[in-house]
Amino acid sequence: MIESWRWYGPFDRIGLDEIAQTGATGIVTALHEIPYGEVWPRATIAARRDGIRKAAPGLDWNVAESLPIHERIKRGEGNLVALFANYRQSMANLAAEGIKVICYNFMPLLDWTRTDLQSPVRRGGTCLRFSSPRMAAFEVHMLKRAGAEADYLPETLTAAAIWFQQSSEADRDALLSSIMSGLPGAYDRYDVDGLRAALTLYEGIGRAELRANYARFLQEVVPTAEELGMRLCVHPDDPPRDILGLPRIVSNAEDIGWIMGAVDSTANGLTLCSGSLGANPANDVPAIARQFAPRIHFAHLRNVTKDPDGSFEEAAHLDGDTDMVDLIAALLAEERRRNEAGRADWAIPFRPDHGHEILSDADRDTHPGYPLAGRMRGLAELRGVIRALSHPKVSWA
């Protein structure tokens, strides 16, 4: 497996020289400064790649995360010919510069969603957390979304009302800021009125309509990926449940199976994100990995601990509710199968996804979920599991 590291380019407070010291060799990044829907110029891609190589010899840009999909494509709104053409041209420009793996998502409006960016961890440090009561407080009492109450348990609504009554204006501002933080590359943030207005653009779009729009996207771009020898890999919903009344359609094995079948091609693949899928109690993440192993082109490895009310928080990489050793064994078995079949791109790039803020991380003000020490701890733990399971004297399925 190829050890990789998420880097936000010029926006990142962690330097490439520091990343090199973690032992990672792949850089997962994007041209976040380019607005959604516009072409990523080949010269700009080459400059970013060359800058990575020059700043830290031994590092290389191996995964584009994300080449974002314009919201109009997700809504199926208007004439989309130019947007599809721009996406295909960006793909061609990436491929021309040697970047052949593209991670993307099809989550409407928001990407990953958390209510707390610095929730205390038992032995020190902080983590990201999704609190169902706080999310309910936001939807019901701050956003005042019609019908939001139906999405939560009665006891969750009671806890939400208590939190809202006791919260200060600063508490509510912090909650909004946390929810808005899961927009990598989209640096415009909504206030409550702006979010309410943005949600109206999705009125009338349910699960069936979103699936139809997604199928059209795949039909438009997967043939180009095949021609270019690229691997597209969709990222699961985070959390894997409807949010703000918006449908989520990449949340479980049934969803993934539909996506893989919508355009049945190796180029149409999956980013196996153990944390996103692991937040749904019904998801057996190692089993999902084995089921879709031939279509996994990239992996985000992290762990979560879930609560009965639907809340969850980021756990240490080898702790939490997902059996990370079993999951890694599944990925290594797929690598071995590909290698034995003579496939050139048999190795699966992965990155330690998210991490606790520990030690000096609190002083760095990095992107939420992306500290240096916490992710380096995660990478070291994952590396140890991979090394152990790869040892010739170890037998595993």
Give the pLDDT confidence score for residue 393 in this predicted structure.
Answer: 78
Domains of the chain (ranges; CATH) run 2-108+201-390 (3.20.20.150), 116-193 (no CATH)
Q: Do 10 and 31 meet the contact criterion of CB atoms below 8 Å apart?
A: no
User: What CA–CA distance (Å, rounded) separates 28 from 306?
Assistant: 28
Question: Which one is catalytic: 111, 238, 284, 353?
Answer: 353
Mark whether 317 is an active-site residue.
Answer: no
Mark whether 32 is an active-site residue.
Answer: no
Mark whether 70 is an active-site residue.
Answer: no
Q: Across all residues in the chain, what is the average pLDDT? A: 95
Question: Which one is catalytic: 235, 297, 317, 356?
Answer: 235
CA neighbours within 13 Å on the CB side: how many for 234? 31
Q: What percent of the chain clears pLDDT 90, i.e. is strictly above it?
A: 94
Instruction: Evaluate if pTM is beyond 0.75.
Output: yes
Give the tens place of pLDDT for each residue, 175-216: 999 999 876 554 567 899 999 999 999 999 999 999 999 999
User: What CA–CA distance (Å, rounded) separates 272 from 277?
Assistant: 8
Mark whether 235 is an active-site residue.
Answer: yes
Pairing of strands 126-130, 116-120: antiparallel
Q: Do 253 and 283 meet the contact criterion of CB atoms below 8 Å apart?
A: yes
User: What CA–CA distance (Å, rounded) separates 207 from 146?
Assistant: 18
Give the pLDDT confidence score for residue 181 in this predicted structure.
Answer: 87
- In the predicted model, is pLDDT for residue 264 greater than 70? yes
* CB within 8 Å of 280: residues ≥ 6 apart: 239, 240, 241, 251, 252
Question: Which one is catalytic: 70, 297, 317, 354?
Answer: 354
Give the tens place of pLDDT for each residue, 73-117: 999 999 999 999 999 999 999 999 999 999 999 999 988 999 999
Give the pLDDT confidence score for residue 394 in this predicted structure.
Answer: 72
Give the pLDDT confidence score for residue 187 in this predicted structure.
Answer: 56
In the chain, beta strands by DSSP E: 2-6, 26-29, 60-65, 101-104, 116-120, 126-130, 231-234, 268-273, 296-301, 303-306, 312-315, 349-352
Mark whether 233 is an active-site residue.
Answer: no
Looking at this protein, which amino acid is placed at residue 189? R
Mark whether 273 is an active-site residue.
Answer: yes
CA proximity to 225, closest of 272, 185, 263, 261: 263
Give the tens place of pLDDT for each residue, 1-56: 999 999 999 889 999 999 999 999 999 999 999 999 999 999 999 999 999 999 99
* CB within 8 Å of 181: residues ≥ 6 apart: 114, 117, 368
Give the tens place of pLDDT for each residue, 239-253: 999 999 999 999 999
Question: Which one is catalytic: 70, 297, 300, 317?
Answer: 300
- In the predicted model, is pLDDT for residue 346 greater than 80? yes
Question: Which one is catalytic: 87, 104, 152, 370?
Answer: 370
Give the tens place of pLDDT for each residue, 123-180: 999 999 999 999 999 999 999 999 999 999 999 999 999 999 999 999 999 999 999 9
Question: Which one is catalytic: 103, 127, 233, 273?
Answer: 273
Give the pLDDT confidence score for residue 189 in this predicted structure.
Answer: 76
CA proximity to 74, closest of 244, 210, 248: 210
Helices (H) and strands (E) in the chain, counts: 14, 12
